[in-house]
Amino acid sequence: MNILITGGTGFIGSQLARFLLEKGDKVTLFDIEPNLSLIGNIKDKANVVRGDLACLSDVLSAIKKHDAELISHTGALLSARSEKYPVAAFRANLVGTFNVLEVARLLEVGTVMFASSIATFGEGVSNPVPNEAPQKPMTMYGVTKVASERLGEYYYRRFGVNFRALRLPSIVGLGRGSGGASAYSTLMIEKPARGESYQVYVSQDSKIPILYIKDALRAFMGLQEANETKLRRRVYNIGGISPTAGEIAESVRIYVKNSGLKFSPDKTMQEIVDGWPEALDETRAREEWGWSLKYNLNEMVEDFIKEVRSFGIRGR
């Protein structure tokens, strides 16, 4: 299958690319500024295309040239950068999704898989957040993602574009980097695995939903391959697990004796993290296309530590 991944050289995009290549698909990595550091061992097996999501012509050229049958649309300005540059976020994330959907319509590309986010939920939702809760995001990132969900649903209903989306929690894994307020959940595991000490900037009882990257890829595949007749909606919460920071620390100490983890909460970061939902209700994903988690907390920590030790900083 020919698959084009927007944001193809980013964290999720590059991991997805690696996974699809191993599965035997052909992949094209579309990125505004292709970052070769995350695609080290696959860059010769994939097509790498420079292009701007905000430019319909760039998106269309890439899809057409490489005959993509499926678009995995993971590209976006991330949360912190969207806050800093909301105009750029409007263009890349929201006009970008519109362009992806337009190309899917115009060139009759079958399927658009979309990475939405827990950040589409804002204040006043119940815990765990139901799949159909009101979406009043607090950030520009969240605003562009929720608008993208609605556009995707419309293109499905009106034009038959097979739009399917996951609302992902914070993803943990190699290559995630240190940006954003949820980075602690990755760094609390990665740093000890490298033998480095790490000061956790939230309190021990802080709790957000997290998902191991390998489970995130399983979720993408699960929804991508789901039977259309079973789906009663286009967008699904994926809840992952919701350990406290303290529980993560404990788990790490099982595998790394001197973990070097210290808690030293930062007020600003703590407030951001406290503003997020503690858990997402993923019942709809389980019921309608059989989603289930593979990695519990200890399994995630163990596997991640192995990955770090095998592949170094950037992953494979």
Judged by CB under 8 A, which stretch of 19-27, 37-45, 79-87, 253-261 contacts its own copies?
A: 79-87
125/51 Cα distance (integer angstroms)? 37
Which residues contact residue 20 at a Cβ distance below 8 angstroms, ignoring those fewer than 6 apart?
3, 5, 27
272 binds its own copies (CB under 8 A): no
Q: In angstroms, give the least distance from the CB of 140 to its own copies.
A: 6
260 binds its own copies (CB under 8 A): no
Question: Is residue 65 a contact partner of residue 57, using CB atoms and an 8 Å limit?
Answer: no
Give how many residues touch its own copies by CB under 8 A.
Answer: 41
60 binds its own copies (CB under 8 A): yes
> In the complex with its own copies, which residue's Cβ is closer, 62 or 193?
62
Query: Strands 111-117 and 2-6, how do they pair?
Result: unpaired
Q: In angstroms, give the least distance from the CB of 284 to its own copies.
A: 13
Look at residues 238, 262, 240 and name the one whose alpha carbon lies nearest to residue 249. Answer: 262
Give 31's strand partners. Answer: 50
Which of 56, 80, 272, 297: binder of its own copies (CB under 8 A)? 56
Which of 52, 190, 282, 307: binder of its own copies (CB under 8 A)? 52
Q: What are φ and ψ of residue 207, in 5° steps?
A: -140, 120
31 binds its own copies (CB under 8 A): no
> In the complex with its own copies, which residue's Cβ is closer, 24 or 124?
124
53 binds its own copies (CB under 8 A): no
Q: In angstroms, give the least distance from the CB of 222 to its own copies.
A: 23
Interface of this chain with its own copies, residues 112 to 171, rule: CB under 8 A:
124, 132-140, 143, 146-147, 150-151, 153-154, 157-158
Residue 115 DSSP label: E
3-state class of 2 per DSSP? strand
E-assigned strands of the chain? 2-6, 26-31, 47-50, 70-73, 111-117, 162-168, 170-172, 198-200, 210-212, 235-237, 261-263
Q: In angstroms, give the least distance from the CB of 69 to its own copies.
A: 18
> In the complex with its own copies, which residue's Cβ is closer, 56 or 80?
56
